Amino acid sequence: MSDVKYHRIVLKLSGEALAGDQKFGINPPEIKLVAKELKQVYESGVQVAIVVGGGNMWRGVTGEQLGMERAQADYIGMLGTIMNALSLQDALESVGVPTRVQTSIEMRQIAEPYIRRRAIRHLEKGRVVIFAGGTGSPYFSTDTTAALRAAEINADAILMGKNGVDGVYSADPNKDASAVKFDHLTHMDVLEKHLHVMDSTASSLSMDNHIPLVVFNFNKAGNILKAVSGESIGTTIEGD
Ligand code: UDP
């Protein structure tokens, strides 16, 4: 515990991280791998809250493009994040990590409702808290949820694992050979340079509440623990 940099974190897990190579749906063996990685962080004594995305199931924007009403499509997306949260809870508990799921949309039979003080208490008692259902409102993202919950529970940092990319680049490194990786950025840099690390609502919220964001490659074993320890394995975004 003494050699970690961040003692309470919000980890943003995109839906993609739970889908594996198939890129869609829920892939239990893949989620088990994620759970084993998280167990290392949990065992280091760090308080871990997780915000799960839902892009492996459904995105509201896609529904809108296909003719649905946006808000209705977004509610479907929020329900997707709850399915992901239950899958992750299952995997974490199977490797011996105690968890609680809290949903922003009440579903009392399967999870607790989101109650800020209760979430903090769970973290203090050594339980991993999984925040599901996004903010509970359409037109937002789970990135914004991560920034919001991080501010609410007073997290030291938001950790954002990316699939196969080891940080923030000036351009897409898979398409542009001249792309340069940034080790440090400010939230304002991200907004001004349109780097699309998170959506702009999430970046502004993180900036206004002085929450650092660490972007790293989620697919390398041991990386979550390294990010928590403050090792420079990706891009750190802080300050305004
Ligand atoms: N969503 C929403 N409000 C929120 C969070 C999420 O409406 O506060 C919906 C939205 O439709 C979004 C979907 O849930 O497309 C899945 O979330 P997101 O796209 O953030 O998932 P990720 O890309 O992280 O997998």
Query: By the 8 A CB rule, do 198 and 213 touch?
Result: yes
Name the residue with the closest Cα to ligand 1, atom 13: 77
Eight-state DSSP code of residue 104:
S
> What is the four-CA torsion angle of 231, 234, 235, 238, rounded to 10 degrees?
-30
For residues 178 and 171, what is the distance between their CA atoms, to the nearest angstrom?
Answer: 8
Spacing, Cα 178 to ligand 1 middle (Å): 32
Ligand 1 atom showing the smallest separation from residue 55 Cα: 25
The reported pLDDT for the residue numbered 22 is: 85
What backbone torsions phi and psi does residue 55 show, to the nearest 5 degrees? -60, -20
pLDDT at 219 over 90: no
Ligand 1 atom showing the smallest separation from residue 17 Cα: 25
The reported pLDDT for the residue numbered 163 is: 85
pLDDT tens-digit map of 130-144: 999 999 999 999 999
Spacing, Cα 140 to ligand 1 middle (Å): 7
Q: What pTM was computed for the model?
A: 0.97
The reported pLDDT for the residue numbered 164 is: 81
pLDDT at 23 over 90: no
Question: Going from the N-terminus, what domains does the chain have, and what CATH number goes with each?
Answer: 8-237 (3.40.1160.10)
pLDDT tens-digit map of 33-86: 999 999 999 999 999 999 999 999 999 999 999 999 999 999 999 999 999 999
Spacing, Cα 3 to ligand 1 middle (Å): 34
The reported pLDDT for the residue numbered 12 is: 97
Residue in the block written with tokens 């769970």: 122
For residues 8 and 6, what is the distance between their CA atoms, to the nearest angstrom?
Answer: 6
pLDDT tens-digit map of 170-208: 998 889 999 999 999 999 999 999 998 999 999 999 999
Q: In 3D, which of 158, 211, 189 has the Cα closest to residue 49?
A: 158
For residue 231, give the 3-state DSSP assignment. Answer: coil
Angle between helices 28-43 and 70-94 (to 10 degrees): 70
Spacing, Cα 51 to ligand 1 middle (Å): 11
pLDDT at 1 over 70: no
Residues with CB under 6 A from ligand 1: 14-16, 53-55, 59-61, 74, 77-78, 80-81, 134-135, 137-138, 140-143, 145
pLDDT tens-digit map of 88-111: 999 999 999 999 999 999 999 999
Distances (CA, A) of 155 to 8, 135, 146, 149: 5, 17, 10, 8
Name the residue with the closest Cα to ligand 1, atom 16: 54
